[in-house]
Chains A and B, each alone.
Chain A
Amino acid sequence: MKKKVKKWLEDGSVDVFLGYKMVHGHPLPHCFTLEDVAEVDELIVSEARYSLEKIATHLTRQDPKIKIGLLARDCNQRAINILSVWHQLDLEKIKTLNVNCCPSNLKAHPDCSYMTVETPGAYKQQVGIDNTIDTETADAFSKEAKTIRWMYEFQKCIKCYGCRNICPVCFCTECSLEHKDLIGPGNLPPQVPIFHLVRAAHMAGRCIDCGLCEDACPMDIPLRLLYRKVNRIVKDVFDYDTGESSEQSPFSLIGDSVKLTLKPM
């Protein structure tokens, strides 16, 4: 792995390489360069995941010509695909070094921060939504129970915007979650459930199920489950597997122009 990264930096196939390094006992993201090529010996695959591809988009915004190499788990790879679909990264300027990843049916030996899932407390199980259940179980609640349980989760929100800030595929410079007519500044909890549903709607065909948002949510809201449901619908309607490829997404098609008319009242 280290040899390959050194080679890439030396032969100029990448200008920088985003990986991890141990700093004061913490595995932190690190940007390796040719100037400090000896540092590559300290490259590690960290158990804690950071969104390296999001950092790559920041670098690309500063210098669109930069060639970036990065360590990629499956979730990073999916995010790169989506960022390419939405023209935030150019796949020709991105080189990935694939490494082992999250718990899933496909990977028997995961290597990431999702290895230990916390069991929710008794109260949350009673009135809220258990973060660890799948979409079918969540759908099995009655209509009333669903409303009450999800609203319990949403009203805990402290509007930290962590879910948006950490999300690799949230790149908009103007965000609907800050729109004054939609969400409005100053209210806590934010407009529920609008805040969460707006974000959920925007994650259709975008969320690559990396779970970083839920990891970053101080209020332990089952965001990953919510966006999973959204993308289950995307799969059913468009037969689109979000992030599996960097091909055309049904959400980035420019169709025929239509004239919108007011609905008769």
Chain B
Amino acid sequence: MKCTFVPSVCSYCGTGCGLLFETIDGRINSTIPMKTHPVSQGKLCIKGWNLHEHINSPMRLKQPMVKTFGRFINASWEEAIQITADRFKEIIVEHGPDSVGVLVSAKMSNEENYLAQKLARAVFGTNNVDHCARL
């Protein structure tokens, strides 16, 4: 049996509490607060304590879905990205760049969030960027 404790940072809000993922045979089993973490000092809120749950959730989406005629249909990444790009283009041409916005997520890394705001500002041409932890 292999059991590991992987140090990580909670991605649910801007505080950045330190935690450990307890894995047993490669599967995340629980979240443990990191006692010596300078930010959280061994404490977590309810979101941090349950951080591992969405990873093994059967509800988790593992591939993109496109809403076609009111129903969600599985799609490939290329397809989904193409459709999204086409729709964005249409909307921007018709209503201007400030008619769209980008909502980024605490479940992404800092670098990915950076890229998302870069896409919004440099490609779409809008400052409408916000983050789920601020909602």
Contact = CB atoms under 8 A, between A and B. Distances in A.
Interface of A: 15-16, 18, 23-24, 26-31, 33, 48-50, 55, 58-59, 62-63, 66, 113, 158-162, 165-166, 215-218
B43 interface: yes
Nearest to A113: B35
B42 A215 contact: yes
Given A158-B46, A215-B42, 6 more contacts: A15-B1, A18-B3, A31-B2, A62-B1, A160-B43, A160-B45
Nearest to A63: B1
Contacts of B7: 23-24, 26, 28
A-B residue pairs, 3 tightest by C-beta:
A48-B35, A31-B3, A218-B43
A31 B22 CA distance: 10
A26 B20 CA distance: 11
Contacts of A31: 2-5
Interface stretch (B26-34, B59-67, B68-76, B100-108): B26-34
A125 B37 CA distance: 27
Interface residues of B, number: 24
A50 B43 contact: no
Interface of B is mostly: mixed
A175 B7 CA distance: 27
B3 A16 contact: yes
Given A26-B7, A158-B45, A58 B32 contact: no
B58 to A, nearest CB: 18
A48 B2 contact: no
Contacts, number: 76
Nearest to B29: A58
Interface string B46-60: 100100000000000
A113 B1 CA distance: 29
B37 A160 contact: no
A265 B75 CA distance: 65
A104 to B, nearest CB: 20
Contact of A62 (B20, B24, B37): B24
A31 B24 CA distance: 10
B27 to A, nearest CB: 9
Contacts of A66: 1
B36 interface: yes
A18 B45 CA distance: 26
9 contacts: A16-B1, A26-B36, A27-B36, A50-B35, A59-B24, A62-B25, A158-B45, A216-B43, A218-B43
Contacts of B44: 160, 162, 216, 218
Contacts of A158: 45-46
A78 B3 CA distance: 23
Contacts of A49: 35
B49 A50 contact: no
Nearest to B27: A62
Nearest to A29: B5
A158 B35 CA distance: 19
A26 B37 contact: yes
Nearest to A48: B35
Contacts of B32: 29, 50, 166
A240 B7 CA distance: 39
A18 B33 CA distance: 17
Nearest to A158: B45
Contacts of B36: 26-27, 48
Interface string B1-22: 1111101000000000000101
Contacts of A50: 32, 35
A7 to B, nearest CB: 20
Contact of A58 (B30, B35, B37, B42): B30
A161 B49 contact: yes
